[in-house]
Structure 1
Amino acid sequence: MRQIDPRLRPAVMPALRRLTWSAALTSALLAATIGAARAEGRLSAKYSLTVAGVEIGRASITVDAGDTAYQVIGTGKVTGIMRAVSAGKGSAAARGAITVNKLAPQIYALSAEADGKAESVRLAMVAGTAKEVDVEPPIKPLPDRVEVTETHLANIMDPVSGAFVYVPGTADLLSAAACDRSIPIFDGRQRYDVSLTFLRIEQVKAGKTYAGPAVVCRAGYTPVAGHRPTRSTVKYMMENKEMYVWLVPIAGTRLLAPFRVSIATMIGTATLEATSFEAEAKDKAVPISAPKP
């Protein structure tokens, strides 16, 4: 068995809490907002998260997208030898509208538990602006933290919705049109931009479930608010030139989903990659239900 680098735990756990798709919508929230939707496409995918070639987590997502609405539900947990030093699991969900030109997220919820510590975020958005923000535990006020103001809460995407790319019109999904954009993300604690630039088209494969082309984008990270500029990890990510995402279309929709994400870290390359990727076009009403806690 491969031994995990002893430096792995303190460096990986903060990122793992964000990467494991660890959140769930509450029953009351779901009852008020989620019903049945006419889906044009559905995606069921499973992912493996590795750092320096060592598996530390697994995740799964389900996406239902219609002509006017979408929903994403995901779950994740710590796996492999990482379980010997840490524990973590959870689920995530986002829901919103599909307009002529873009995704318009409406609800985002996250609830994570790692090493016995719980974390939750809930956002309610209207016309791209976060109107309600509920974060537990509360954000600690620190002298070097850039304050998040009301201005920063406008024109935002939640992290789950922001992971998917919508290409409007009739442009080729597998083209530079998928990458040439900047995505304004607010995760409840931080506001940052993820910029994508087109690199190439590449063939990818996930077992017997998918084999085909993906559009490859280079990603960049620019913090806006909520971050601490003095932290070495913030500076490292701002200067990081080795961040990439592979995007694959969801059949029956104008959406592209992440097939692979690769990020250089101080302890090795972190890779989130699909091990199963099943997308199909639909033409019937499909139920949209809550993720299991």
Structure 2
Amino acid sequence: MIQLRLVPLAALAVFLSHPAGAAEVDARASYILTLGGINIAAMKVDLEDNGSRYTLDLSANVAGLGTLVASGTAKATSTGRSSGSSLLAEEFDLETRANGETFTVDVSFAGHDVSAFKVTPPIVDNYDRVPLERRHLTGVGDFLSAFVLKGNGLDRSLCQRQAKIFTGVERFNIAMSYAGDDEATSPRTGYQGPVVLCTVDYDPVSGHFTSSDITNYLADSDRIVIWYAPLGETGYFIPYRVLLGTDMGDLSMVLTEMRF
């Protein structure tokens, strides 16, 4: 069964961006997550930014899907500094609840380095888990703020990004590339208009299990795609849609509502 702590990774859902020096922003984006066309989760992402500090909050209610996805809840928060060309995380917290069990992650950052982290309950280091090394915890960011893309407009530069990410459990790299311009037209979604299409390449480094089907699939996949849309006139850009092809069907997240 897919554990809830993998939901943020599978969704690749929390990508918000704005240019440096932007006005104070209080925004919310709502999404529906489906697997093989069946609704499995509802997700909300809140962003607050006063021009120098930001808070990103993600909350998800997971309905589950038989033995494939566990039902429960997931919450994640990233806080830090928003000045400059990118968000700089200082704290990252994650909590998931499923099958009567709670899993939490707390990570602290000093600059781009991990200063402390705690996972409860601890991850068992089986023979097939790739060891985390101290050098893997430098020059990194958390999962949420690592996908915040500051840019000057809805163009190909939004997609030209690389990030080194530490989730508290795993260390991996993400490389994004521009794939083209598109138009969102469905009246059933929370936005209609121009979007930019980006592809995502996932490269596991450490902390993962070599026997993990999800990790291996993501590493081999060439179908991780994000469509970005503008968040009104705020200077922010959020994902209109996220698509991940899996052997169980497409894992898709679609914007259903946005407020700013």
TM-score (norm 1): 0.77
Report which of the two structures shows the higher radius of gyration computed on alpha carbons: 1
| Alignment match of 2:178 (pick from 171, 195, 198) | 198
Corresponding position of 1:180: 160
Q: Provide the aligned C-alpha RMSD in A.
A: 2.7
4+ residue runs of structure 1 moved beyond 6 angstroms?
A: none
Matched, 1:246 2:237: no
Distance 1:254 1:157, change over 3 A: farther
Task: Report the equivalent of 2:16.
Answer: none
* Distance in structure 2 (CA, Å) of the matches to 1:15 and 1:145: 16
Give the 3-state SS of the residue equivalent to 1:151 in structure 2. helix
Amino acid aligned to 2:42: R
Aligned residues: 250
Q: What is the CA deviation profile of residues 202-243 of structure 1, one whole-angstrom value per residue up to 9, with x for unaligned ones?
A: 222564753222211011110011112343433222110111
Q: Distance in 2 between matches of 1:105 and 1:263?
A: 26
Q: 1:209 to 1:238 in 2, by over 3 A?
A: closer
- TM-score (ref. length: structure 2): 0.86
Which segment is superposed worse, 210-219 or 113-122?
210-219
CA distance in 1, matches of 2:61, 2:204: 27
Of 13, 27, 44, the match for 2:28? 44
**Per-residue Cα deviation, 1:54-110 (whole angstroms, up to 9, x for no partner):** 001111111112322221112111237669x84301322111112322211111111
Summarize the Cα distance change of 1:245–1:206 in structure 2 as closer, same or farther, 3 Å threshold: farther
In structure 1, the gaps of 5 or more residues are 1-9, 22-37, 281-293
Q: Which residue of 2 aligns with 1:31?
A: none
The offset of 1:262, in angstroms, is 0.6
Structure 2 residue aligned with 1:264: 245
CA gap 1:13/1:40 in 2 versus in 1, 3 angstroms: closer
Partner Cα separation in structure 2 for residue 101 and residue 197 of structure 1: 19
Percent sequence identity over matched residues?
A: 23
The whole-number CA distance in structure 1 between the counterparts of 2:235 and 2:8 is: 30
Q: Which runs of 5+ in 2 are unaligned?
A: 13-21
1:166 aligned counterpart, secondary structure: coil
Tell me if structure 2 keeps the 8 A contact 1:202–1:213. Answer: yes
